[in-house]
A and B are shown apart, each in its own frame.
Chain A
Amino acid sequence: MLRLKKRNFILVTSLVVILILTLCSCGNKTESSDSGSGTSDVLLVGVDDSYPPMEFKDSDGKTTIGFDVDVAKELGKRLGKSDVKFVSNDWTGIFSALEINKFDVIISSVSINDERQSKHSLTKPYIANKQVIVTKKSTTDIKSPDELKGKKVGVQAGTTSEDFCRDLIKQSKLGDNGLATYPLVTQPFMDLDAGRIDAVVVDIVVAKYYISNNKDKYNLSWESSSSEPMALCFKKKDTDLRDKANKILDDMQADGTMKKISEKWFGEDVTKNLQ
């Protein structure tokens, strides 16, 4: 027993040491660590990287890519940062995570609304977005939000798509039980496939990505006429940094950088004509 115990002790100790070493090594590699409100040399960017083509993973499943990612990298460069790192946060909680210093800025398809304006520091719009309705190819009776009555609609939770649907419910254009919300943006599409819902309300940029990936499956049934601008979202207190970013966004518009990034990801420039 005595000898047995000593061996176990050595075993457990070495196990713990190995684990802590691996932990340290991956701790360095992953994007985490506390940020000093943009004062450090690295710009930490919060993204919900399950939102193609705005922010998602490359074909290795590891590298973060997308429209917002390119914008963020350019922003970091022009702010004089040596590096830009991406922290992958679920959309649920992403705004709380910003305010508790998990990263410096959210560049993750943040649509501008009053609540976000009041709680955080938003820049001017950098891309125009709008809400659209996506249905299955076979669905023919949904051509506008007025035809959603009695239908089931899916959205990602906490998005302006959800706000859009809540407004429809208020206007009695959508039944109280007509809305299903999901943590990930893919999930309403999966439920659409499974036939549990009839339509998905989603940002146009994402809708286009999914439709082009599944040409024979989905239809873009309706496109909102009012555009819904998106902004970079800084912490409430970081107004100086926000003002700097506004200046940089202007410069990026002026020198054609925005146009270039937009054409890379959307094949067209969706960054012009912003109010």
Chain B
Amino acid sequence: MDLNKLMTYMPALLEGARNTIVLTVISVIFGAILGLFLALGRLSKNKLIDRICWFYIWLFRGTPLLMQLFFIYYALPNINPTLTLPGQWIPALLALALNSAAYLAEIIRAAIQSIDKGQMEAAKALGMSYGQAMGRVIVPQSYRRLIPPVGNELIALLKDSSLVAMIAMTELMKVTNQISTRESNAAIYLPAAVLYLAMTTIFTVVFEKLEKKYSVYE
């Protein structure tokens, strides 16, 4: 594939790459919010809440993401037409966010549990409630420990997001497939791989910076 041809395809590839980034970042943000609640649920003294959160994590970590994606996209409307999610963005984001929440929950739980028990005791001895202690003392300390594994999860998710090409999302993988079939030539996968690398590199650098920033007190 010559350079001129590559340049004419570049806008399409870049648009695909942008969709990949948007998908990944939004999924990770919602996944992290849900993951935090799941993690707190797993640490809860309430047995029922703990069980429910355990079940969620078990389900979403134990089945392939592609299957979850197909389930949300194709199977839900079959179960009941009112469960049909509009368009491609929402089912794709939902599947990625629900899936990453399960992984992030375990990451967050491990980070919270790694905080010295004395911190919770000190907070309680000062009269803080469990919620105040978590919110002001424990969770903020877990940030720094969270950054490296969350970075890993983000990069994994960025690459896994290529699966949503299967449900008609026009992201980088799909665009690459379309160009490849047009050209009856697989060489386009190489520049697409470079774009994936560029994106993962950006995230790696950002997370290294964040880690440094949150390490100031250590």
Contacts and interface: CB of A to CB of B under 8 A. Distances in A.
Interface in B165-183: 165-168, 170, 174-175, 177-182
A100 B77 contact: yes
A23 B184 contact: no
A57 B184 CA distance: 12
A191 to B, nearest CB: 11
Contacts of A30: 87-89, 170
Interface in A39-92: 49-52, 56-57, 59-62, 87-90, 92
B205 interface: no
Contacts of B5: 59
Given A26-B22, A61-B9, A92-B166, A56 B86 contact: no
B43 interface: no
Contact of B89 (A23, A51, A87, A190): A23
A144 interface: no
A185 B178 CA distance: 11
- The contact size tier of chain B is 35 or more
Given A26-B22, A60-B11, A90-B168, A96 B74 contact: yes
A62 B184 contact: no
A222 interface: no
Contacts of A52: 181-182, 184
Contacts of B78: 96, 100
Category for how many chain A residues contact B? 35 or more
A88 B70 contact: no
A49 B184 contact: no
A59 B9 CA distance: 7
Nearest to A16: B29
A226 interface: no
A22 B11 contact: no
Interface string B174-201: 1101111110101000000000000000
A87 B174 CA distance: 12
Given A60-B8, A87-B168, A100-B74, A23 B178 contact: no
A101 interface: yes
Contact of A32 (B74, B87, B178): B87
A117 to B, nearest CB: 20
A126 to B, nearest CB: 22
B92 to A, nearest CB: 10
B97 to A, nearest CB: 13
Interface residues of chain B: helix, strand, loop or mixed (majority):
helix
Contacts of A186: 177, 180-181, 184, 186
Given A12-B29, A27-B89, 13 more contacts: A16-B26, A19-B29, A32-B168, A50-B180, A61-B12, A61-B179, A88-B168, A88-B174, A96-B74, A96-B78, A97-B168, A100-B81, A209-B184
Contacts of A57: 12, 178-179, 182
Contact of A90 (B8, B11, B165): B165
Contacts of B26: 16, 19-20, 23
Nearest to B86: A34
A238 to B, nearest CB: 15
A190 to B, nearest CB: 6
A152 interface: no
A89 B168 contact: yes
Contact of B181 (A12, A26, A92, A185): A185
Nearest to B216: A4
B109 to A, nearest CB: 22
Contact of B170 (A5, A34, A88, A210): A88
B12 A32 contact: no
B25 interface: yes
